Amino acid sequence: MQIAVLIFDRFTALDAVGPYEILSRAPGAEPVFVAERTGPVRNDSGSLALVAEKTLAEVPAPDLVIVPGGPGQSDQMENEALLGWLRSVDATSTWTTSVCTGSLLLAAAGLLKGRRATSHWLALEALERFGVEPTGERVVLDGKYVTAAGVSSGIDMGLTLLGRIAGDDAARSVQLLTEYDPRPPYDCGSPEKAPAALVEEWRARSRHITR
């Protein structure tokens, strides 16, 4: 099972590494980081670089595709090389997935039209503009399309998908080995739970994203 993790300049590292860490532990998994060019690809803050091992052309038919988000997603929305690759691999993939604003790239490629999907809570409106039905759920399965909410939600997506791919027992083993028994010290991880003032502040600050 080849797992292609797409990366691009200014991606968010945890969007990619969260589901990678879970799904790369599936029996027979062959994960590969792919980008337009091989070599280091820098994340949103510029302080982390992950190595892309293969070019898009070198990974023509992965079984599973993971598309992270991050501020750099907006630069890719009209990148035909990348969108064309997404369409092409989606034609034969078993699962096409995204984390955070990665779903906007799937939507821009035309892959989510008429489907239920999710994204970072600040990007749900933008998703709707592509004819997608946005939901506030953390992980959304619609056929072979699996989308996750913001950043950290890719871990939940990874486990959910691992259960479908390798069975509940395999997913439980990975949950135990990665000790995924979360204990957030605050209860502020969604716009429903966070103080309204904080939610409004970030909506205002991110208006350029969701415009």
CA atoms within 13 A on the CB side of 65: 31
59 counts as binding a copy of itself under rule CB under 8 A: no
Long-range contacts of 125-133, Cβ-Cβ distance < 8 Å, separation of 24 or more? 125/210, 126/101, 126/209, 126/210, 127/103, 130/104, 131/107, 132/103, 132/107
21 lines the binding site for a copy of itself (CB under 8 A): yes
Q: Which of 5, 17, 100, 122 is catalytic?
A: 100
CB of 143 to a copy of itself, least distance (A): 18
Does residue 136 belong to the site contacting a copy of itself (CB under 8 A)? no
* CA nearest neighbour of 135 among 113, 158, 119: 119
Q: Does 171 bind a copy of itself (CB under 8 A)?
A: yes
Candidates 55, 74, 152, 210; binder of a copy of itself (CB under 8 A) is 152
Q: Does 102 help bind a copy of itself (rule: CB under 8 A)?
A: no
Measured CA to CA, the distance from residue 153 to residue 14 in angstroms comes to 9
Residue 129 CB, nearest approach to a copy of itself (Å): 20
Q: Which two tokens stand for residue 162?
A: 């691992």
**Whether residue 100 lies in the annotated active site:** yes
Q: Which residue in the set 1, 24, 54, 128 belongs to the binding site for a copy of itself (CB under 8 A)?
A: 24
Contact status: 68 vs a copy of itself (CB under 8 A)? no
| Residue 150 touches a copy of itself, criterion: CB under 8 A | yes
Given a contact cutoff of 8 angstroms between Cβ atoms, the answer to whether 51 and 39 are in contact is yes
User: Least separation, in Å, of the C-beta of 169 and a copy of itself?
Assistant: 8
Q: Are 68 and 12 in contact (CB under 8 A)?
A: yes
Catalogue the active-site residues.
100
